Amino acid sequence: MTKKQGKHHDAANGQKDSAKASQDAARGAGLVGGHPPSSAEWARGAEALAETAPALIGGYAPTVPRPAPGIVMVEPGKTVSLAAIDASTDGGFDKDAAKELLRAERTRIKALQERLYAEHKRSLLIVFQAIDTGGKDGTIRNVFEGVNPQGCRVWSFKVPSAEELDQDFLWRYHLRTPGRGMIGVFNRSHYEDVLVVRVKDLVPEPVWRERYGLINGFERLLTASGTTVLKFFLHISKDEQKKRLEARIAETEKHWKFDPADLVERKSWDAYQGAFQDALSRCSTPYAPWLVVPANRKWYRNIVVARTIADTLQAMDPQFPEARAGISGLRVDD
Ligand code: AMP
Ligand code: MG
């Protein structure tokens, strides 16, 4: 097949896929893979995006996240109250059974990632945000174990460099969004620019206030370009943070992880909760809703995050590309 024919071939497939994806979006209004119905508002928003997106992304309507039971999805347009969400729930799971379940979800992620990579058409961006000791590193370590590193990149965002500060605030994140076929993981993200930046007063208020809308636009651009955006907020209680900080102080092997600045940041607990609440409420959209994960119990947190990733990848339904004709009969010369 010539390059040109290949393009036409892709476009035809694209139409098929886009029709299928629209059906998927329509199904979002009802039961999807055993999940509770998403809100009508969410489903409407996702459908509206699916209608406009094919023109923008060459035939591929976006797939919206599929939160696992136990995760609290922040309703677009509503204000979330973090204090009202129990961080300690274990969802009625047994800790030992949870290990088996996690293994099973990892196997699903691995198989689906291989398809996503082979398909080379869409991508998945997974954002983790949490207060210090909230479990971002641990979740990434546990959930992505065994995933082919070629198809997955993890980025941890720290205090911006001088070069990064010379650019617009989204620049360093946009540089690292996943390309086609890839899973990108953000350990901290563009949300830091309305979290730590707000709490520590690093820019004037009108500057960070403007950013919620800019972030929504950024995520819409990504979604409309074939990237599904999954955003997890790992929700721990203030007591749990105390325990985790004490554990880091008590165990010498954990000292490398202990940052004395965390004790100072803890004094701003309420300000951080307020900033998280605002970010989650203002930036939960039908195409990229915020997912709150009860995260006091690490093993519970791991399975609901893994299940959500696996279910979302499954809903994306990535396909191996069609094999070239006539491979089976080929002979390799001596
Ligand atoms: P850690 O994730 O514990 O290694 O710490 C990274 C540090 O970088 C945290 O204290 C964050 O608050 C800080 N940080 C990340 N992004 C930004 C940002 N955009 N502006 C200022 N500080 C940031
Ligand atoms: Mg830290």
Which residue among 131, 139, 154, 157 has the greatest number of ligand 1 atoms within 8 angstroms of its CB, and so is best to mutate? 157
Asked if 221 and 118 touch (Cβ cutoff 8 Å), the reply is no
Amino acid symbol at 104: A
Dihedral through CA 243, CA 249, CA 254, CA 260, nearest 10? Answer: 100
pTM for the model stands at 0.86
How many domains is the chain built from?
1
What gap in Å lies between CA 316 and CA 17, rounded to an integer? 10
How remote is the CA of residue 196 from the centroid of ligand 1, in Å? Answer: 7
Q: What angle do CA 203, 208, 213 make, to 5 degrees?
A: 160
Pairing of strands 290-294, 72-73: antiparallel
Which residue among 139, 140, 155, 159 has the greatest number of ligand 1 atoms within 8 angstroms of its CB, and so is best to mutate? 159
Domain membership of residue 177 as a residue range: 71-316
Please give the structure tokens belonging to residue 198: 């707000």
In a domain, 112, yes or no: yes
Q: For residue 196, give the ligand 1 atom closest to its CA.
A: 12
Q: What pLDDT shows up at residue 38?
A: 53
In a domain, 328, yes or no: no
pLDDT per residue of the chain (334 residues) written in tens, 0 to 9: 333 333 333 333 433 444 344 334 333 333 333 344 456 666 677 777 666 665 555 556 778 899 998 999 999 989 999 999 999 999 888 889 899 999 999 999 999 999 999 999 999 999 999 999 999 999 999 999 989 999 999 999 999 999 999 999 999 999 999 999 999 999 999 999 999 999 999 999 999 999 999 999 999 999 988 999 999 999 999 999 999 999 999 999 989 989 999 999 999 999 999 999 999 999 999 889 999 999 999 999 999 999 999 999 999 999 999 988 888 889 999 9
In a domain, 55, yes or no: no
- The domain that holds 148 is classified in CATH as 3.40.50.300
In a domain, 34, yes or no: no
Q: What pLDDT shows up at residue 1?
A: 36
Bridge partners of 230?
126
In a domain, 27, yes or no: no
Q: What pLDDT shows up at residue 106?
A: 97
In a domain, 188, yes or no: yes
Tell me which ligand sits closest to the C-alpha of residue 172. 1
Q: What pLDDT shows up at residue 4?
A: 37
What gap in Å lies between CA 289 and CA 286, rounded to an integer? 6
Please give the structure tokens belonging to residue 15: 């139409």
In a domain, 235, yes or no: yes
Q: Which residue has the tokens 């009860």?
A: 294
In a domain, 182, yes or no: yes
pLDDT tens digits, residue range 127-164?
999 999 999 999 999 999 989 999 999 999 999 999 99
What gap in Å lies between CA 148 and CA 222, rounded to an integer? 23
How remote is the CA of residue 234 from the centroid of ligand 2, in Å? Answer: 14
